[in-house]
Amino acid sequence: MKKLNATKMKDWEIAEAAAEDMKTVYQLAEELGLDKMELLPYGHYVGKLDYMTILKRLEGKPRGKYIEVTAITPTPLGEGKTTTSMGLVEGLGKLGKKVIGAIRQPSGGPTFNIKGSAAGGGLAQCIPLTDISLGLTGDIDAITNAHNLAMVALTSRLQHEFNYSDEVLAKKNLKRLNIDPRNIAIGFCIDFCAQALREIIIGNGGQMDGFMMKSGFQITVSSELMAILAVSNDLEDLRNRMGRIVVAYDKSGKPVTTGDLEVDGAMAALMGKAINPNLMQTVEGQPVLVHAGPFANIAVGQSSIIADRLGLKLADYHVTESGFGADIGFEKFWNLKCRFSGLVPNCSVIVATIRALKMHGGGPTVKPGKPLDKAYTEENIGLLEKGIENLIAHIETVKKSGIPAVVCINSFYTDTDNEIKTIKKAVEAASARVAVSSHWQHGGEGALELANAVMEACEEKGNFKFLYEDSDPLRKKVELIAKQVYGADGVSYTADAERKLKSIEADPVLSKMGTCMVKTHLSLSHDPDVKGRPKGWTLPIRDILTYNGAGFVVPVAGTIKLMPGTASDPAYRGIDIDVKTGKVKGLF
């Protein structure tokens, strides 16, 4: 492989240069020991894996070590979970270990907006960058189409029920569902940041142009269908969940599901190929499974259970990624994903940067697209020491699960020895392992200290336990998460949330579902402007949603928009294609 310099090359330039020496997807499949028909190629360098055939063949094979990657509360720039996941995979590969990574597919919204793609960075990337950033094999498109088909079925039924009598509906083989147009549970979706579509009126026109009502769009990766893809154990599980999605309520308040609309089978058919994980590779040629998507608030934000089951059978070490900080991504991994999958991790990696810790210590505001204040690029032990409280909170959260924790100091070239020593001292005092990793700059070679620390942690005997039991009342589950993970003193509910809480607790099915908390990822609290480790506050629950298909209820704290907005200087302004070579440039 040619010499790559992360400090002098942009991510897309590194990805393009690395692609010249990339393994074909056939080589990756051969190295994994796959049979020829278990690989479903999409061109020369990307493929899907026939998970059913592989898992059946390897049914009796022991699973490898299971490693989860999370982070501290991030700056708006992110702290490098995907980059660290890829660096750890490369580091374990450098040590001669058979290793696979699992990450989430980037969303088109951030890719074309401010944050950019989510394939890692520097010399710790998943490649080919163009493929992973621009649609890959169509999983997100499949979710978009399946979600919108549910809305087609719903709006069509509303129009027919409004226009026709029961006798006419019966002749059309339709039963009146008595849908309440003022109580619709979902809208449409599109995988861009399109704030103009958040609130719309549909059905303008004549009698045959649909039922006029309020609606709107959410970004595709926040769809319940994305959560279903992430938590399904197999195709049968996905198909069953597809029929339980609540799309609206009737005039008596009873849920109307995709099964009631008889659209669930067609939705599952649209997602029939998406259930197979995508096979890609790191810059250094280790295999990576890309499956499910981001948006770790509502859509659970985990790489898929199916990808993890495959990775654990195909490798000695499997590294999987959770979205946002440990208060959101790890908490959902711990109490939802592990519960659904039955898989128990051997180790959790908490990614921390000196930049983020200084922000939590009271440093200046960090904004995407704006230069960093010198407080973040020059030594400042005072800010760092104050901000370390946030890291300690996340260490304590992981330790409550009984999973061994390793703190990864995701190293920047501006970090100083004194700053690193300060973090190490605090982490060791909190009884956790700590390693410095320069994978962004040096790839696998820079991640050896981290890889060794992770291997040691994987040999430690854990004592895994969930934070709550399925049988616990919803109020208790919410309170445990708020107090034990976020550090709140208590929980308050709006009148509407309190009404829904009582209704859910009285329902024998809903009351036993998982709890998928929704709050900002930019603070341990519900307020994105409150940094560090907040004390003396109450978590306000303003609403509670039910995701019957995914299998959890969704208490909502604060204001969360399911459709982000596009900024004034979005990434798409710098993305283009070379008309002579067909190569895409400008992705980051």
Kindly list the catalytic residues. Answer: 81, 83, 104, 115, 296, 324, 412, 440
Q: In what order do the strands lie in the sheet with 246-250?
A: 179-184, 246-250, 255-257
In contact, 109 and 222? CB cutoff 8 Å: no
How much of the chain is helix, strand and coil, in % rounded to 5?
40, 20, 40
Amino acid at 574: G
H-state helical runs in 349-489 = 354-360, 381-400, 417-429, 439-442, 448-459, 474-480
| Nearest alpha carbon to residue 437 among 128, 123, 73 | 123
In contact, 252 and 50? CB cutoff 8 Å: no
Return d(Cα 315, Cα 94) in angstroms, integer.
15
Site of tokens 């696998």: 444
Residues contacting residue 562 through CB under 8 Å, at least 6 positions apart: 218, 219, 222, 298
CA atoms within 13 A on the CB side of 425: 9
Enter the DSSP assignment of 218.
E
How many helices (H) and strands (E) would you count in the chain? 21, 25
Residue 359: φ, ψ to 5°: -60, -45
Interior/surface letters 424-437, b for 16+ CB within 10 angstroms, e for the rest: eebbeebebbbbbb
Instruction: For residue 577, give the 3-state DSSP assignment.
Output: strand
**Could you report how far apart the first and last alpha carbons of the chain are, in Å?**
21
Q: Does the bond joining 368 to the residue before it have cis omega, within 30 degrees of 0?
A: no
Return d(Cα 21, Cα 8) in angstroms, integer.
20
Residue 348: φ, ψ to 5°: -125, 135
Return d(Cα 334, Cα 222) in angstroms, integer.
20
H-state helical runs in 178-259 = 224-231, 235-242
